[in-house]
Amino acid sequence: MSVNQQDLLSISSNHKDYLYRKIKNKTARIGVIGLGYVGLPTAFEKAEEGYDVIGFDVSDFKVKQVNGGKNYINDIDDAKFNELTKARKKLSATTDFSKLNQVDVVLICVPTPIDEYKQPDLSFVRSATESIAANLHPGMLVILESTTYPGTTEEIMMPLFEEKGYTAGKDFFVAYSPERIDPGNRKFGIKNTPKIVGGVTEHCTSLAAGFIGEVAYPVSSVKVAEMAKVYENTFRFINIAFANEMAVLGEKMDIDMWEVIEASGTKPYGFMKFFPGPGVGGHCIPVDPYYLTYKAKEMNQNTKLIELAGEINNNMSEVVVNRAMKALNEHGKAINGSKVVVLGAAYKKDIGDMRESPILPILDELANANADIKVCDPFINKVPINNNMHPTVNYSKQLLQSADLVIIGTDHTCFNYKEILEQSKIVLDTRNACKDIGEKYTNYIR
């Protein structure tokens, strides 16, 4: 049922205190917009805490899966998910966004991608905000969790809400609390990862922090929270670029940069280890820095370091393919027509997530060089190569033996690296997956 007149009559002039009580006694109804890698785990956790949760998504498939008790995110326990959706009826999903009028707290967990020109695409945030604005009611708390540039909450969302005639911080509440979800991380999850939160007003901040709970880390404003998210990932983006650049230099100088980084890491202060690889991937690191550079340009501010880091990281696919060509040439083969097996296409190990995976441009470049490519990834059924989907193949000794070159693209734990080294003609390790045993083999390159 929607928020009825009796509910509204029972609300005193202090909507904040009323909603806070509902949050504390778990009678607040929660809505989560976007049921992807962030939204579904968030909805699951809130349902597990005891709230009634409605998930909203434009995908009929996702909605049917949720309502059928079928989990499609690796980090969620299947049995608990089925119990929350089917037995206890704490979590449901819908494509009907008018049902937002039934909820007290709305979490926006929609994608914020970049386009081909590295420009932010906030169309999903705008669409979610419009749906909420159409169903906005007194006593509602809205929290944006999607990564974005500083100013999004106040400049894009607030005008749509204010058209309803309500006052933020008094009638309704708006905050920004960026997601911190690392797919496949078994140590840190939603329950034990600090969560930054900044509201449009002090009441908004305190109410959102109360909802988030013990892990909440309140900051002074929405913009600080927005900047913190892009800052922390841009920090990683730049340092990975430095490691990648040094790896290229180290190869020319015949210096093992992996060993150099490990040696440097023995310093107990002032140093943090970042390792080279085939590029950067995932839903945050390859994207977030461009949200910051976009906003900086509005301020007529250059972000040379970020842009240069982007060039270095994006160029790593070419570096990997050039190393593959060199390795094959040294064995009397051209890459044209050579059989190349790529082990792993996900952006990180032990998950099936290909979002912005650095392996994908490597596959495109190998295809453009007319290599005969086979991709093996136990977590992925199909991979895109030059915009066409290709099925992955099963791992076997015969697969390794048939290849002129094996490239370790993603260091999945399930791969038998000793066998890979023993059965392959040439192994190019982009992840240092064979660091403990690789040097014993003359066919090993990293």
The pTM (predicted TM-score) of the whole model is 0.91
Using one digit for the tens of pLDDT, what is the confidence trace for 220-230? 999 999 999 99
**How far is it, in rounded angstroms, from Cα 140 to Cα 174?**
9
Task: List, by residue number, the catalytic residues.
Answer: 284
Using one digit for the tens of pLDDT, what is the confidence trace for 20-46? 999 999 999 999 999 999 999 999 999
Q: Give residue 183's pLDDT band: very low, low, confident or very high (50, 70, 90).
A: confident
Q: Which two tokens stand for residue 326?
A: 């060199």
User: Phi and psi dihedrals of 379, rounded to 5?
Assistant: -100, -5
pLDDT the model gives residue 11: 42
Instruction: DSSP for 224-265, please give it.
Output: HHHHHHHHHHHHHHHHHHHHHHHHHHHHHTT--HHHHHHHHT
Residue 42: which residues within 8 A CB-CB, separation 6 or more? 32, 107, 109, 145, 179, 181, 190
Helices of type H across 352-444: 359-368, 397-402, 417-423
- Whether the pLDDT of residue 13 is over 70: the answer is no
- Whether the pLDDT of residue 4 is over 80: the answer is no
Mean pLDDT rounded to a whole number for the chain: 94
Above pLDDT 90, what percent of the chain? 90
Residue 177: which residues within 8 A CB-CB, separation 6 or more? 143, 144, 145, 195, 196, 197, 198, 208, 212, 216, 225
User: Phi and psi dihedrals of 372, rounded to 5?
Assistant: -90, 100
Q: Each residue of 49-84: b (16+ CB within 10 Å) or e?
A: eebbbbbbbeeeebbebbeebebebebbeeeebebb
**How far is it, in rounded angstroms, from Cα 23 to Cα 15?**
12
**How far is it, in rounded angstroms, from Cα 158 to Cα 172?**
11
Over the Cα atoms of the chain, what is R_g? Answer: 24
